[in-house]
Amino acid sequence: MPQGAQPRDKVTIIEIADAAGVSKSTVSLVLTGRGSVKPETRERILQVMDELGYVYNRGAANLRNTQSKIVGLVLNDLSNPFFAEFAIGVETVLQMAGYVAFMANTAESVVRQSQVMRMMREHGAGGIILCPALDTTAEELALASGPETALLVAIRRLPGVAASSVVPDNVAGSARITRHLLNLGHRRIAYLGGMSSMVVRQDRHQGFSEAMAKAGVAIDPGLNLECMPTRDGGFSAMSSALALPNRPTAVVCYNDVVAIGAMLAAARRGLVVGRDIAIVGFDDTSEARHVSPALTTIAVDAVGLGERAAAMLLERITNRAAPATSHVGPAELVIRESCGAYQHALTAAG
């Protein structure tokens, strides 16, 4: 605030009008940019605003408008870098379009999720991008969202929900990375991590199964291990897998976080990952590059998914008649060291 201005804690359009010697309607005209105002009048009004430290009151404006320029972004786990990157993509696009993102972290709690969604609707959000918490049901969502708020479900698809969605191609990605291990000669391959109640786990495991079936390789049911999708979960599940009498030669993990836990467990057992055992992940978070050996994984472009989600939601907000659409993003294989492909190439050549 420029010096000399009294810090009146609530400057309104009317005070601006009085000070500039015009009516509040004229001030509103320059604020919204609608109608025609003489340039010098506009200038004078803007200057007065500056002097008095005027702050536009969007709440009051929305009361008439219904056009709120707010969208909500509900994340299930901000501590996972994957979702942080997703959020960055969303934010970039929204910002460009003059929207502002109300962002909240549910930490996988469905009650917090509905609280947060309610809050957003109460604040007049025109749309919500939701990365649903585990155990979110279609009914809950129907209650927590309404006809005036466009809903887009991202990352975790939610069967039975009539909303747009943006998800990576989990089935294809998982099949792709499984085929890679099969090509390297592995036959005893475990699937590790995630809980079977999770839709994403189901999709990824489906891709795994399909690739195995297509290659004519039988899946040992004992090599299908569930665990929470955390590093600790991966660590203990992998420890059990390694204690098996006939342990796997390769492990397809639910995601990078689990894979990193699994790598730690293998190292603890004295195994060299990429030589004695192959471990692969899913997501391609920045950590996948930094662990040693670097993790072979599936890149799903979190930022790109976020951008796409935001764009699709904005489309539905501005064009309310538009139908709900779905987008399935690409999932690409990134070969690094943890699968032993490099080692393998050497052996094959030698």
DSSP character string of 42-76 = HHHHHHHHHHHT----HHHHHHHH----EEEEEES
Residues of this chain that bind a copy of itself (CB under 8 A): 1, 7, 9-10, 53, 55-60, 62-63, 66, 68, 70, 78-79, 81, 84-85, 87-88, 91, 95, 100-105, 107, 112, 115-116, 119-124, 142-143, 146-148, 231, 260, 286-287, 290-292
Minimum gap (Å) between residue 155 Cβ and a copy of itself: 16
Site for DNA contains 65 (CB under 7 A):
yes
88 binds, among a copy of itself, DNA, none (CB under 5 to 8 A by kind): a copy of itself
Site for DNA contains 123 (CB under 7 A):
no
Backbone angles phi, psi at 272, to 5 degrees: -95, 115
Site for DNA contains 64 (CB under 7 A):
yes
Among residues 47, 57, 325, 326, the one that binds DNA under rule CB under 7 A: 57
Site for DNA contains 26 (CB under 7 A):
yes
Residue closer to DNA by CB (options 58, 188) is: 58
Site for DNA contains 246 (CB under 7 A):
no
Stated as kind and residue range, the H or E segment containing 166 is: strand 164-168
Q: Report helix, strand or coil for 246.
A: coil
Minimum gap (Å) between residue 284 Cβ and DNA: 44
Stated as kind and residue range, the H or E segment containing 280 is: strand 278-280
Site for DNA contains 231 (CB under 7 A):
no
DSSP 224: E
Minimum gap (Å) between residue 40 Cβ and DNA: 7
Among residues 38, 159, 270, 321, the one that binds DNA under rule CB under 7 A: 38
Minimum gap (Å) between residue 207 Cβ and a copy of itself: 26
- Nearest Cα neighbor of 280 from 244, 305, 248 is 248
Instruction: Say how far apart CA 62 and CA 263 lie, in whole Å.
Output: 53
Minimum gap (Å) between residue 112 Cβ and a copy of itself: 7
- Nearest Cα neighbor of 130 from 194, 81, 195, 86 is 86
Q: Report helix, strand or coil for 276.
A: coil
Backbone angles phi, psi at 334, to 5 degrees: -120, 110
Instruction: Say how far apart CA 129 and CA 150 lie, in whole Å.
Output: 9
Site for DNA contains 25 (CB under 7 A):
yes
Describe the chain by its helix, strand, coil percentages, rounded to 5: 45, 15, 35
Minimum gap (Å) between residue 148 Cβ and DNA: 11
DSSP character string of 130-148 = E-PPTT--HHHHHHHS-TT
User: Interface residues with DNA (CB under 7 A)?
Assistant: 10, 12-14, 17, 21-26, 28-29, 31-32, 34-38, 41, 56-57, 60-61, 63-65
